[in-house]
Amino acid sequence: MARPRLQIIIGSTRPGRRGPAIAAWFHALALQHPGFDTELVDLAEVALPLLDEPSPPQRGRYVNDHTKRWSATVSAADAYVFVVPEYNHSYNAATKNALDYLAKEWAGKPVAFVGYGGVAAGTRAVQALIPVVTALGMVPLAGSVLIPFVRLSFTGDGGFQAAPGLDENATGVLDELLRLTTALSAARPAAPVG
Calpha distance 124→144 (Å, rounded) = 12
pLDDT at 190: 58
pLDDT at 141: 95
Q: Tell me the residue type at 83.
A: V
Reduced to 3 states (helix: H, G, I; strand: E, B; else coil), residue 180 is: helix
Reduced to 3 states (helix: H, G, I; strand: E, B; else coil), residue 101 is: coil
Calpha distance 145→135 (Å, rounded) = 22
pLDDT at 192: 47
Contact between 9 and 41 (Cβ < 8 Å): yes
pLDDT one-digit tens code per residue, 62-75:
999 999 999 999 99
What CA–CA distances, in Å, run from 150 to 84, 130, 181, 191? 12, 22, 29, 41
What is 83-148 written as a DSSP string?
A: EEE-BTTB--HHHHHHHHT-STTTTT-EEEEEEE-STTTTHHHHHHHHHHHHHTT-EE-S--EEES
Query: Tell me: domain 5-187, CATH 3.90.1150.10, correct?
Result: no
What CA–CA distances, in Å, run from 173 to 17, 51, 140, 144, 149? 24, 31, 11, 7, 21
Contact between 50 and 18 (Cβ < 8 Å): no
At 51, give phi and psi (nearest 5°).
-35, 120
pLDDT at 159: 86
Cα-Cα end-to-end distance for the chain: 20
Calpha distance 61→66 (Å, rounded) = 13
DSSP structural state of residue 190? P
Contact between 81 and 111 (Cβ < 8 Å): yes
Q: Where are the domains of the chain?
A: 5-187
pLDDT at 194: 46
pLDDT at 2: 83
pLDDT at 185: 84
Contact between 85 and 116 (Cβ < 8 Å): yes
pLDDT at 187: 74
pLDDT tens, N- to C-terminus, the chain (194 residues): 589 999 999 999 999 899 999 999 999 999 999 999 999 999 999 999 999 999 999 999 999 999 999 999 999 999 999 999 999 999 999 999 999 999 999 999 999 999 999 999 999 999 999 999 999 999 999 989 999 999 989 988 888 999 999 999 999 999 999 999 999 988 766 554 44
